[in-house]
Structure 1
């Protein structure tokens, strides 16, 4: 199968070095492991107490599991965290075939949980990882307890053409200036993202190209109505991919057990921009008892 790396002249090595530099700043003990699946080797970063509730983390498109660098320490106090490198994206996973449908994504997830010995887990995802999380809520509901979805790619609203063009140009012409501009456009005004993580993203985009075949899409009403797990939806009020208010309104209208919150002065990179706020919201939500009333926050 075609590799994600743009050339055979050291591109993979350069990227792995950047990934590992970020991982050196992981502020808790971490186990780096691979699970064999029918789609290839899936790389996972594991932290937290072995006997704690499992929490699966899905990263944004073009990033990797190191995206959770500002979140893993507080989350790992309460949960056994499994930050999964989505197969086909720019990370350490090694695909032998691509996930091409929502059903295949659910199958891949089942294989991961089976390999980890997990029956059910909490799930959280940002951007593309938020879209993947919602897909799993529809197509693998028996495996999920509760879910936090942050600025999900498409899902509740179509992504704007302007946003898509910016992302496409950054992939085709990945100059440092263009990638920095893309990152600056995605985060809220005046906000900062971990510089080592930012450098990893730029290095990744310049040395690799995602081969994902499951693209973010506008989810059907029937899909969203079918979601039965409790969900916390968080969207930054400066998210540029779509109108945040319209996304929240549709989610509240269609998803049964949902809480929503618009995060002030924040863009598309919620967990990276406002880690303290997001960490607190996630932990509080996951600790909420099942019999409490769900609704808008």
Structure 2
């Protein structure tokens, strides 16, 4: 696969998210610690778009079918460490740092609506010379995956969604208040409190430290909040879709999300995962890995 305009390093600084080079450097140190949890050979590089330089982590066989991974808000692509070993056995994986979030991408201008989010990701895939792919997203990344599947449906063969933010059901106000409070007081105790509320299991320390560093050293400026997709929009999802939701989800009503998704989307396979919260790929990776593998490898019925 030939890739166009790829840069192994990027010289410019992320001025939109990190106000000083020292703060950006401190965040990057924590990012690299989390990335060291990827126990597979990988490469990192930047793909230029009109929105800036997009950071990509790739691994897996060169001739594998492309699989795009989109991360949760504030966590970056390193969140996929419990899943990456299995996914990289067969697929050429591209974990992409959303250019509107706190991570290693370097934006020059932030996407301000869903159309621009779709345009940004399409430019990344064009830079990677990807004409069709599988796509998966967790939380905000799930919201972005659905958005792209509507923006460029001809390019998405299958899509898996892990606790997509909003999308099928409105966000609880408590979630919004907690994010605002954590962002306003990004101390270790407030971040830990938020993570414990979000997840029903203890998460990897390096990943939690990176999440804390994002809010401590960076400035969250997400321009496109997750929202609920309309019935007409969801009916456009013609590709097979796997939806996994945590039984103890806290950011929205899990039963409403399950009901609405299964009633509207014809080609969806949905499951509520017992004893898991919002970050189910971190809380129950073994189950999630099995379900994703079954979905991607088998014919959809």
What does the per-residue CA deviation read over 1:211-246, in whole Å, with 9 as the maximum and x for residues that have no partner?
221110011111011111110000001010111111
Are 2:102 and 1:68 equivalent residues in the alignment? no
Q: For residue 284 of structure 1, what is the aligned residue in structure 2?
A: 294
What does the per-residue CA deviation read over 1:178-230, in whole Å, with 9 as the maximum and x for residues that have no partner?
10010000112xx2211111111111111112222111001111101111111
Q: Following TM superposition, by how much is the alpha carbon of 1:9 offset from its aligned partner in structure 2, in angstroms? A: 6.2
Secondary structure at 1:10 match in 2: helix
Q: Within 2, Cα distance between the matches of 1:2 and 1:161?
A: 30
Q: For residue 8 of structure 1, what is the aligned residue in structure 2?
A: 20
Q: For residue 257 of structure 2, what is the aligned residue in structure 1?
A: 247
Are 2:37 and 1:22 equivalent residues in the alignment? no
Q: Within 2, Cα distance between the matches of 1:127 and 1:62?
A: 11
What does the per-residue CA deviation read over 1:10-67, in whole Å, with 9 as the maximum and x for residues that have no partner?
1111000111111122100010010000110000000100001111000000111111
Q: How does 1:157-196 map to 2 (within 5 A)?
A: 157-188=169-200, 191-196=201-206
Which residue of 122, 140, 146 maps to 1:110?
122
Which residue of 71, 95, 111 maps to 1:59?
71
Q: How does 1:114-153 map to 2 (within 5 A)?
A: 114-153=126-165
What does the per-residue CA deviation read over 1:64-114, in whole Å, with 9 as the maximum and x for residues that have no partner?
111111111111011111000000211110111111122111211211111
Q: For residue 60 of structure 2, what is the aligned residue in structure 1?
A: 48
Secondary structure at 1:83 match in 2: strand
Q: Within 1, Cα distance between the matches of 2:61 and 2:86?
A: 12
Whether the 8 Å CA contact 2:156–2:239 is kept in 1: the answer is: yes
Q: For residue 155 of structure 1, what is the aligned residue in structure 2?
A: 167
Q: Within 1, Cα distance between the matches of 2:206 and 2:247?
A: 25
Q: Within 2, Cα distance between the matches of 1:59 and 1:163?
A: 18
Q: For residue 106 of structure 2, what is the aligned residue in structure 1?
A: 94
Q: For this pair of structures, how many residues does the alignment match?
A: 288
Whether the 8 Å CA contact 2:77–2:95 is kept in 1: the answer is: yes
Q: Which runs of 4+ in 1 moved over 4 A?
A: none
Q: For residue 216 of structure 1, what is the aligned residue in structure 2?
A: 226
Q: For residue 268 of structure 2, what is the aligned residue in structure 1?
A: 258
Whether the 8 Å CA contact 2:55–2:96 is kept in 1: the answer is: yes
Q: Which runs of 5+ in 1 are unaligned?
A: none
Q: Which runs of 5+ in 2 are unaligned?
A: 1-13
Q: Within 1, Cα distance between the matches of 2:220 and 2:56?
A: 18
Secondary structure at 2:16 match in 1: coil
Secondary structure at 2:81 match in 1: helix
RMSD: 1.2
Whether the 8 Å CA contact 1:88–1:94 is kept in 2: the answer is: no
